[in-house]
Amino acid sequence: MMKQYCFRCHGVKKVKGKVNLEVLVKRADFLKHIEITQHAAEMMAKAEMPPEDEKQPTKAERAKLAHFFDDLVDEYLQSNTELEPVVMRRLNRYEYNNAVRDLLQLRGDIYPLPEKVIRSSNYFDPSTGRMPDSVNAGNRTLGKNIVEKQILKGVDPFAIDLQAEHGFNNQGEQLSVPPILLESLLKLGRAIVNSPEFDGYSGLRNTLFKDNGKPVETRLRTFLERAFRSPVESQVLKRYAAFHAAEQKRTGLYSQAMKSVVAAVLASPKFIYVVESKNGIGKMAPASDYELAQRLALFLWSSIPDESLMAAVRKGELRNSEVLEAQVRRMLNDHRSRALSENFARQWLRLDQLITAVPDFDRFQVYYSRIGCEQWKFGLQTMVEPLLLFESVQVEDRSIMLFVDSNYSYRSDELQAWYTSPENPFESKENRNRFSTHTQNFHKRILGNRREGGVITTAAVLTMTATPLRTSPIKRGAWVAATIFNDPPPPPPDVVPEIEADDAAIEARGLTIRERLKQHATDQTCASCHARIDPLGFALESFDPIGRWREKYSSGLPIDSSGKLFGEAEFKDIEAFKDAILERPEKFMRAFTEHLLSYALGRELKITDKPSIDKITRRVVADHGRFSTVVVEIAKSIPFRHKTGQNESK
């Protein structure tokens, strides 16, 4: 059967996508090249192969092929249970901020973080189970000024850590400590404790930093245990106490000496790195209670464990599933779980890409705050919308399917007008400040139509996946594939013929962008990939390059946003497209689970994670996609609770 349907493109004569199935003869061959086998299984499941214009297998044949590949994957997983090891990483700068804030009981952040999209947090209180209907949210329109302003005098953030290509900025392989970073960390530690605002900013002012007559070692024990997320050995304690004594002698001040100790702690590898002790070769072992607490705190808070978690650790209770679940739910109800929106959701949605989107200034004047001023972008406040939706689902513990389609959204008046009267969103405020660039009031609004709602059709996503002068169905499609289905397309081939930059130029030839791309995809080498990517983008063609609804192209040409999803679901427009995803909730739930699991683990997922992903997904589906179920099931999963040996023999 494979000869009939596959070998023409994936055989000895022609090897597309570097996949040659013809050389795989025996079962053992398929098991040896399990990545290819798994890929084939996925292609069958999603009906992406053979491509539409090739001879199609019958339903029975497809089922048989799918079964053949699935069976091989199962067989492989029975004898290969070893998980990919997590590589020790350092805290990224967002986590460093949170960890320092919580360790020193600071009233707020240590430095302004450009990565924080929403600049206010007082509305966020998950313990209420209710997202307020009205949220006063600052946004990053004024980013650069806010970023320049220090919170603690002399305290600047170190350089941002970049996201992995299809992952998050928490993977060990990509996070190291080069000399310039070590210099920054050494300086940061000092700058924080010595900043003039520090004493009034830290809750430890009257405890740790004040001499209460007790031995320094006793006081440091609790502090170091929390800072290093591990039991403190006596020689370590002695070392730090000796340092304190020397500093006290030098400065004559107890509190100043304690500040020097804290500054050292903040640059110590035991604080900077996410340390887990080694385990035997190739075997899977449960993470220790300390390690599990550390993983939980990083996952849910991007920070270090708090006293309640440490208490559970000391009692040896955390490995108990019920205690673990109770802790996870408690942590979700804590305001620190805001990190899931600030750190995870922002990266999952790749929202940073909006910051540098430059819709053409002349054609899309409304994107810019002021006529004639290209630096100030009204459009940046659209970033707030998908994040508030995310937070509402998290806080109210609703279904993650709302990320695909929701009947509500949080919008400022201006943003609402952006969607509802795209021709004239600012009414008479043409030449003046069109809105406050500091904060806006975002109201929960029940949406009047189904084309809006969810994250996919937000102006932020639609704008950052367009180019200055036209939409880019390819970019939009690639975003949907990567974000919504966790199926990032392979990088484009070396030869990438570009399409005209301006849709006006394309339409002048009587073509829509869709027809133009079709010409592009007639090239055999491009066709099969684009058959996967483009339809996802075509579905969004009714939204212009800055995310406003349009009935037809500006030239008057009609818009065709129809297509087919998963090889079976025909859709005629964006509403039907969303329906197609909603009718198969397992696909999105699995994808979301994979994104969040990869984030929780700080590594890429591998085939050996599949049984765990299957299990989590089953439970999430059974619970109709409840947000907390995804989080709890990840925390209770085997990869999250175990660590793998790092092949010491190599």
> Among residue numbers 95 through 134, which ones bind another protein (CB under 8 A)?
114
CB of residue 505 to another protein, shortest distance in Å: 11
CB closer to another protein, 53 vs 183: 183
- By CB under 8 A, tell whether 165 contacts another protein: yes
Q: Any contact of residue 270 with another protein (CB under 8 A)?
A: yes
Q: Are 135 and 410 in contact (CB under 8 A)?
A: yes
Return the range that interacts with another protein (CB under 8 A); candidates 68-76, 257-265, 381-389, 617-625. 257-265
Burial of 456 per CB tally in 10 Å (0-12, 13-18, 19+): buried
Helices 610-622 and 627-636 meet at what angle, rounded to 10? 150
Residue 607 sits in the site that holds another protein (CB under 8 A):
no
Residue type, 480: V
DSSP characters over 453-487: -SSTTSHHHHHHTSBTTB--HHHHHHHIIIIISS-
Residues 68-87 within binding reach of another protein (CB under 8 A): 85, 87
Contact flag: residue 380 with another protein (CB under 8 A): no
Closest contact distance (angstroms) between CB of 510 and another protein is: 20
Q: Is 353 in the site for another protein (CB under 8 A)?
A: yes
Listed residue (610, 617, 628) closest to 69, CA to CA: 610
Q: With CB under 8 A as the contact rule, which of the stretches 268-276, 303-311, 455-463, 612-620 interacts with another protein?
A: 268-276
Burial class (CB in 10 A: 0-12, 13-18, 19+), 544: buried
Residue 356 within binding range of another protein, rule CB under 8 A: yes
* Least distance in angstroms from the C-beta of 355 to another protein: 5
CB 83 within 8 A of CB 183: no
Binding residue (CB under 8 A) for another protein from 187, 205, 450, 610:
187
Burial 380-393, CB ≥16 within 10 A → b, else e: bbbbbbbbbbbbbb
Q: Which pair of tokens denotes residue 110?
A: 């240590």
Q: Is 496 in the site for another protein (CB under 8 A)?
A: yes
Contact criterion met (CB below 8 Å) for 542 and 571: no
565 close to 571: Cβ distance less than 8 angstroms:
yes
Contact between 176 and another protein per CB under 8 A: yes
User: Which one of the spans 300-308, 317-325, 455-463, 489-497 is the region binding another protein (CB under 8 A)?
Assistant: 489-497
Site for another protein contains 277 (CB under 8 A): yes
Tell me, by CB under 8 A, how many residues bind another protein: 72
Q: Is 243 in the site for another protein (CB under 8 A)?
A: yes
Q: Any contact of residue 491 with another protein (CB under 8 A)?
A: yes
Segment near another protein (CB under 8 A); pick from 187-195, 323-331, 437-445, 587-595? 187-195
Considering only residues 194 to 223 of the shown chain, the ones binding another protein according to CB under 8 A are none
Maximum C-alpha span of the chain? 85
SS3 175: coil
Smaller CB separation from another protein, 298 or 447: 298
Residue 15 near another protein by CB under 8 A? no
**CB distance 53 to 47 below 8 Å:** no
CB nearer to another protein: give 79 or 356. Answer: 356
At residue 125's C-alpha, the angle toward residues 121 and 127, to 5°, is 160
Q: Counting contacts by CB under 8 A, is residue 429 touching another protein? A: no
Check if the beta carbon of residue 57 is closer than 8 Å to that of residue 5.
yes
* Distance in angstroms (rounded) separating the CA atoms of residues 343 and 137: 17
Tokens of 283: 């075997």
Quote the tokens at residue 72.
């091989």
User: Is position 267 an interface residue for another protein (rule: CB under 8 A)?
Assistant: yes
The one among 59, 78, 122, 148 contacting another protein by CB under 8 A: 148
Interaction between residue 23 and another protein (CB under 8 A): no
Task: Rule CB under 8 A: choose which of 107, 130, 239, 283 binds another protein.
Answer: 239
Task: Give the per-residue contact string, 441-470, with another protein (x = CB under 8 A; - = no).
Answer: --------------------------xx--
